Amino acid sequence: MTTIPFPRADGMSAMVQVQATTPADVRPEPPPQKEQPAAPRQPASAVPSIKGLRISPPGFKATLVDISGSGLLAEWGVALKIGQAVTVDFEGTFSPQSLAAHVVRSAVASMTSGGVRYYVGLAFTAPIAFEDKPPLPPETSAGDDAVQAAVADPLQEDDIENCW
C-alpha cells in the first residue's frame, strides 16, 4: 500500500492509501477471437419457397428480410431480448419447416402511428443448406450495352447530398 495526498473539495488535502500495481500485476487481455465470415445472404425474393414465417415465442407472424445458412433477418412488431431462444416456423415448401435459433440483434426498423416495427436478427443453432438458388441476372446483348452507354444518366435531385 502507498499513501498519497488527495485534494478535497474544501481546499484541504487528505492522505489516501492506494494499492499500486505494476505491469506484472495486470492481467493480460484475452486473445482476440476470430470473426466468423458472414454467410452469403439472400433477400426474401430470392427464396420463393418461404411464403412466410412465425417466430415463437410469442408466436407472431414476421416478414422475412433476408436469410443465410447461419441465420435470418426478419421484421415484425415485437421487441425480443438478445440471447433469447426462439423457434422459427417456415410457411411454404422450404425445408426444414422449423428451426431453433437465438436472438443476436434487435433494433427499431420504423415507427409509425400504427406502432413500432423491429428488425430481429436470428442465428440458427445449426447451419442449413439452401435448395433455392438466387435468380440469375438478365442477359443483355451487345446492342443493349451500346444503347445503355449512349443514354446519359442525368444527375437527379435525390443524388445531390449537401454535406454542410
Q: Where are the domains of the chain?
A: 42-124
Identify the CA nearest to 126 among candidates 69, 88, 64: 69
Fold of domain 42-124:
Thrombin, subunit H (2.40.10)
The pLDDT of residue 150 is: 47
DSSP assignment letter at 153: -
The pLDDT of residue 66 is: 94
The pLDDT of residue 10 is: 77
The pLDDT of residue 79 is: 87
CB of 83 closer than 8 Å to CB of 103: yes
Torsion of CA 82, 39, 49, 57, to 10 degrees: -10
Query: What are 14's three cell numbers?
Result: 487528505
Which pTM does this prediction carry? 0.58
The pLDDT of residue 35 is: 54
Torsion of CA 78, 79, 81, 83, to 10 degrees: 70
Cα distances (angstroms) measured from residue 63 to each of 24, 97, 117, 163: 53, 16, 11, 35
Per-residue pLDDT reduced to its tens digit, 59-99:
889 999 999 999 999 998 988 999 999 999 999 998 889 99
Total Cβ atoms within 10 A of residue 70: 19
The pLDDT of residue 14 is: 72
- pLDDT tier at 27, thresholds 50, 70, 90: low
Identify the CA nearest to 57 among candidates 73, 41, 76: 76
